[in-house]
Amino acid sequence: MTSTAPRQSTGHQQSLRTEILEARAVNLDGFVEEWPEKGLVAMESDFDPVPSVRVEDGRIVELDGKLRDDFDFMDTFIANHAIDVASAEESNALPSAQVARMLIDPGVSRDEVLAVTRGLTPAKVLDVVKLMNVVEIMQGMQKMRARRTPANQGHSTSARDNPIQVAADAAEGALRGFAELETTLGVLRYAPLVAIALQVGAQVGRGGVLTQCALEEATELELGMRGITAYAETISIYGTESVFIDGDDTPWSKAFLAGAYASRGIKMRFTSGTGSEVQMGNAEGKSMLYLEIRCILMAKGAGVQGLQNGSISCIGVPGAVPGGLRAVAAENLVASMVDLECASGNDQSFSHSAMRRTARAMPQLLPGTDFVCSGYSSVPNADNMFAGSNFDTEDFDDWNTIQRDFQVDGGLRHVREDEILQAREKAARALQAVFAHLDLPPITDDEVVAATYANSSNDYPFRDVLSDLKGAQSVMERGITGLELVKALESSGFHDVAENLLTVLRQRVSGDLLQTSAILTADFVPLSAINDPNDYAGPGTGYRLEGERWEQLKKLRHVTSSTNPETEVG
């Protein structure tokens, strides 16, 4: 039995049209009725709290109808660390409609909005965004996104955890435009080799791309501290105390972990999303968006620079209830309107319907977010070890065409085949050299050739997995760091790649990547909310796709030349 088997016929005679509709991909998706009492509702629930706040002696003593004595630890953390006490009473006294209008009014600057939103309670934030339809949410996002220049993030994984594949696909992904690349594993013990491959491949494709490896928290931190990875984002937080406790965590333990990354100058963000609490049966009767707003404020209170949200791995839950994608768009907006970097989802298999998959991304792609996808699969979805993304390699040309159609920057571009082959080959060669230098299991020339022309993990020779796992273990035991990788690259003739990696590593000394929404340009200039603040103030302002970048995005695989219509340009 496969989960995607078509529904069984009813046995009654159906019209031919019904048969066609029944066969449409969208009818393989699951939809459910709301159940607000249990929190199975997107954002409109009578069971959510009514906004309120009261401050005494510089301390919040009442929050959304609860007195401090009745606070759970989420309330306590948010009241103590997230909400600006000085402005709380005044900001919450503003009519919600006025705050909602400020969000969409180009005449009100982003900073003026932040001066208000930093004092809002979770229920008040919900009250504000509930007034907004999806177009207004997008208009708000266009202005409130922290970084002026939008970007995108890719997943680079392998169903066989094959490091050569990850290196080659990372190089291609970096070349196509991903500012961040993320990997994870099927067999966790493979992590050190795959994380090294991701880092090396990324720096071949385009110097300055940031990489991370999603693992259990201790190993993820260790790889970051060693400089084998450059950022971290799989630090999950939840909107109810009961779900937090279920994961043996508290807001304070997560904040402590965030501090560990910051202490080494490593970029990090938290992860949360609508639907996770109800999925785990502990929504405490609150709507998905209300609980997500608590997560967002908790992240703010912990002092992290950003958040990956947009339901993420629970997208099947808001995706199945009425208004679910409006709530998902709203949660991205809320992250941006409290001045967090927002890596905005679109990163998990969402629908059988290509039309629905595309529509799902519009509220992020059209206004632009800090990372439109927090994981576009830059490998075929069958190789995606994050359980599949909303977009994969087969969608590259569609994505590029949509960018060109609407003149919007979704972070990617069309790249010519010869450039791609060159980057893939070089990445595989560089990794071959690094493995040889570090006395890791050898990479053969056949594997390099396979990597150059491959699509999926099936196109590579089998690795000796046991040897690889021993090699992976030795990377950890020998204390290999990012600097060892730089030395290995330098001594084996990959000077430019060594330079790229060294320059990425140096960022942790300057700490520039700790700024909100930081990425590195190809010239290794950190681009963040500090030096590239979103200055949208209406038509003709803010980020515009123009100049050299627009010329790049006009290119597609097949465009007929206007000079000589018998040929194609590109």
* Residues that bind another protein in the complex, under the rule CB under 8 A: 1-4, 7-8, 10-11, 28-32, 35, 38, 40, 275, 278-279, 281, 313-317, 319-321, 348-352, 381, 384, 387-388
Complex with another protein: residue 211 or 274, whichever CB lies closer: 274
Tell me how far apart the alpha carbons of residues 160 and 175 are, in angstroms, rounded to a whole number: 23
Task: Extract the tokens encoding 325.
Answer: 């994608």
Q: How far is the CB of 546 from another protein (least distance, A)?
A: 37
Going by DSSP bridges, is the β-strand pair 180-183/210-213 parallel, antiparallel, or unpaired?
A: parallel
Complex with another protein: residue 5 or 509, whichever CB lies closer: 5
Q: How far is the CB of 454 from another protein (least distance, A)?
A: 20
Up-side HSE of residue 20: CA atoms within 13 Å toward CB?
A: 3
Tell me how far apart the alpha carbons of residues 385 and 367 are, in angstroms, rounded to a whole number: 29
Complex with another protein: residue 383 or 532, whichever CB lies closer: 383
Q: How far is the CB of 4 from another protein (least distance, A)?
A: 5
Torsion on CA atoms 417, 423, 426, 427, rounded to nearest 10: -130
Tell me how far apart the alpha carbons of residues 342 and 475 are, in angstroms, rounded to a whole number: 33
Q: Would residue 233 show up in a list of annotated catalytic residues for this protein?
A: yes
Termini Cα distance of the chain: 46
Tell me how far apart the alpha carbons of residues 339 and 341 are, in angstroms, rounded to a whole number: 7
Sign of CA dihedral 55, 61, 63, 66: negative
Instruction: Catalytic residue, from 161, 233, 425, 532: name it.
Output: 233
Complex with another protein: residue 388 or 511, whichever CB lies closer: 388
Q: How far is the CB of 28 from another protein (least distance, A)?
A: 6
506 contacts 189 by C-beta, under 8 angstroms:
no
3 state SS of 55: strand
Tell me how far apart the alpha carbons of residues 126 and 317 are, in angstroms, rounded to a whole number: 19
Complex with another protein: residue 75 or 383, whichever CB lies closer: 383
Tell me how far apart the alpha carbons of residues 417 and 175 are, in angstroms, rounded to a whole number: 11
Tell me how far apart the alpha carbons of residues 283 and 39 are, in angstroms, rounded to a whole number: 5
Tell me how far apart the alpha carbons of residues 59 and 449 are, in angstroms, rounded to a whole number: 64
Q: Would residue 13 show up in a list of annotated catalytic residues for this protein?
A: no
Complex with another protein: residue 41 or 514, whichever CB lies closer: 41
Tell me how far apart the alpha carbons of residues 311 and 305 are, in angstroms, rounded to a whole number: 19
Q: How far is the CB of 395 from another protein (least distance, A)?
A: 15
Instruction: Catalytic residue, from 374, 403, 457, 517: name it.
Output: 374
Instruction: Catalytic residue, from 75, 292, 347, 532: name it.
Output: 347
3 state SS of 549: helix
Complex with another protein: residue 11 or 479, whichever CB lies closer: 11
Q: Helices 417-437 and 482-491: crossing angle, nearest 10°?
A: 110
> What amino acid occupies position 136?
E
Instruction: Catalytic residue, from 48, 142, 155, 383: name it.
Output: 155
Complex with another protein: residue 4 or 562, whichever CB lies closer: 4
- Edge-to-edge strand list for the sheet holding 267-271: 231-236, 267-271, 306-308, 341-343
Tell me how far apart the alpha carbons of residues 161 and 183 are, in angstroms, rounded to a whole number: 10
Complex with another protein: residue 156 or 351, whichever CB lies closer: 351
Complex with another protein: residue 117 or 348, whichever CB lies closer: 348
Residues 6+ positions from 262 with CB-CB distance below 8 Å: 268, 303, 514
Q: How far is the CB of 181 from another protein (least distance, A)?
A: 20
Residue given tokens 């979704």 in the structure block: 410
Q: Would residue 308 show up in a list of annotated catalytic residues for this protein?
A: yes
Residue given tokens 């085949």 in the structure block: 417
311 contacts 328 by C-beta, under 8 angstroms:
yes
Q: How far is the CB of 506 from another protein (least distance, A)?
A: 38
Q: How far is the CB of 280 from another protein (least distance, A)?
A: 8
Q: Would residue 69 show up in a list of annotated catalytic residues for this protein?
A: no
Q: How far is the CB of 334 from another protein (least distance, A)?
A: 22
Instruction: Catalytic residue, from 142, 165, 203, 308: name it.
Output: 308
Instruction: Give 34's DSSP letter.
Output: -
Beta bridge pairs of residue 308 = 271, 343
Going by DSSP bridges, is the β-strand pair 559-560/568-569 parallel, antiparallel, or unpaired?
A: antiparallel
Instruction: Give 35's DSSP letter.
Output: B
Q: Would residue 279 show up in a list of annotated catalytic residues for this protein?
A: no
Instruction: Catalytic residue, from 182, 383, 392, 512: name it.
Output: 182
Q: Would residue 249 show up in a list of annotated catalytic residues for this protein?
A: no
Which stretches does DSSP call E strand in 120-272?
A: 153-155, 180-183, 210-213, 231-236, 267-271
Q: Would residue 14 show up in a list of annotated catalytic residues for this protein?
A: no
Which stretches does DSSP call E strand in 64-140?
A: 66-67
Complex with another protein: residue 207 or 324, whichever CB lies closer: 324
Which among 514, 526, 528, 496 has a CA at the least distance from the CA of 206? 496
* Catalytic center residues: 153, 155, 182, 233, 308, 347, 374
